[in-house]
Amino acid sequence: MTNPFSSLQPQPLWTYFYELTQIPRPSKYEEKVRRYVIDFGKNLGLETIEDAVGNVIIRKPATPGMENRKGIILQAHLDMVPQKNEDTDHDFKQDPLKPWVDGDWVKATGTTLGADNGIGIAAAMAVLASADLQHGPVEALFTIDEETGMTGAFGIQAGLIQGDILLNMDSEDEGELYIGCAGGTNANVQFTYQDVAVPSGMAAFKLTVKGLKGGHSGLDIPLGRGNSNKILNRLMWVSQNRFGLRLSSIDGGSLRNAIPRESFAVVTIPEAQKEPFLDYAKEFKDMVRNELSAVEPDLTILVDPVAKPAFLMDEKTQHNLLNAIYACPNGVIRMSNEMQGLVETSTNLAIVKSENGEVKTQCLLRSSVDSAKTDLEQMIQSVFELAGAEIQFDGQYPGWKPNPDSPILKLMQDVYQKRFGKVPEIRAIHAGLECGILGGVYTHWDMISFGPTIRFPHSPDEKVNIGTVEKFWIFLVETLKDIPGK
């Protein structure tokens, strides 16, 4: 397709971002984009390294007269979250995205845009390729698999990176500087069930919850959006007790770090309870839409007749599963006492999926307080163990403790105020930034995270504001010029 960003500024950044939208790069499938940045660095004649786990490091020498400045690491992640609308035909492993300009915003047709973290990648590339910017020694660190486990950051080896200051370009509000983030843990739950025959006299239905906004399970968790897994389970729990609902299969959510937007189940209802069930389903839809009207105006709940399934889940496991999902904590657990408006602890009931005699459920827990994260782990463990499920925790990553006395923070505050006439806001983020992991290896680093304004990341509604991309670029360029000496 024709580059829709050809008139946007800064042109080099937008050109590289467009090229990135044409390269499939979902998490765990970064081979093509990794080759793209490796070839990019080598074609510029720059030292280009691929480490043992697949991260790419490109080094650019200082511009003349800037050799004695502290080394800067420009850091962004190569992967993107693959989310699409149900009616969009798109293979994230093969197909290019379809970006377009909508007024002041850039979006993609029916899918995530990949501005998280494609804009950061493109900015680093534009710095590496520039012939006229002033900067000290620069390293671009492109990590893999940030969205599904931060395995790239976890794989970074001590002594590989030479710089002193890390500029993480993975934040999503222009005019804000981030100096801390939450840590996280995955809760992986497994129920085992037996297939049983469908009794006679049963009517079968497909239940669908869709039309929710979804979004980032950290950044968007305080917005009170609907969770399709919780809504669907609520309908089934009541219908199990009132109408004898039996569950055949369930498929809700797809990514641990995205608030689930769509959930589906195939169920049966005794013929004698069919009409009361359908009446209740309509009542339930109206009730939930009323509850969430301010945040989920497009919520849809469908109950469609289908052919009888080949089997049902055994009744005991179904009962335990629906009880556990209903009781499982979800959403904001506690707000921060230290920073107004910041979520301290939360959890997202991300995935519930049955297949081959197993129901697998996954939650992503986040907290900026380690003890609170442990408490939440134990809370969720107690719920699922009472229900007879197995639970394991993995993917633990540390938070990043704020340092209000950071020298790079002071410098960037001054640069921003001088260039834009106001002091940027200082924030911590309720999401997992790679800074916490990387800073655990390179303990001497001074770190900060910033970026342009991105809305609805991790959902097909993702968009990036064009004007803030230009401000982000100007801010980056001015910061590089003012980095102090060693």
Angle between helix 466-482 and 11-21 (nearest 10): 120
Residue in the block written with tokens 């499982």: 328
User: Beta strands 263-270 and 202-210: pairing type?
Assistant: antiparallel
C-alpha span between 384 and 51 (Å, rounded): 39
Catalytic annotation present for 79? yes
Which is the catalytic residue, given 79, 173, 174, 344?
A: 79
C-alpha span between 477 and 483 (Å, rounded): 10
Which is the catalytic residue, given 19, 116, 145, 146?
A: 146
Complete DSSP assignment for 171-224: ---TTEEEEEE-EEEEEEEEEE--EEPPPSSEEEEEEEEE-----BTTTTGGG-
Element (DSSP H or E) covering residue 248: strand 246-252
- Answer whether 357's CB lies under 8 Å from 195's CB: yes
Q: What is the 3-state secondary structure (H, E, C) of 263-309?
A: EEEEEEEEHHHHHHHHHHHHHHHHHHHHHCCCCCCCCEEEEEECCCC
Q: 405: Cβ–Cβ under 8 A, 6 or more apart, which residues?
A: none
Angle between helix 466-482 and 407-420 (nearest 10): 120
C-alpha span between 172 and 459 (Å, rounded): 14
Strand partners, 108: 99
Closest C-alpha among 296, 297, 144, 325 to residue 220: 296
* Residues classed as catalytic: 79, 146
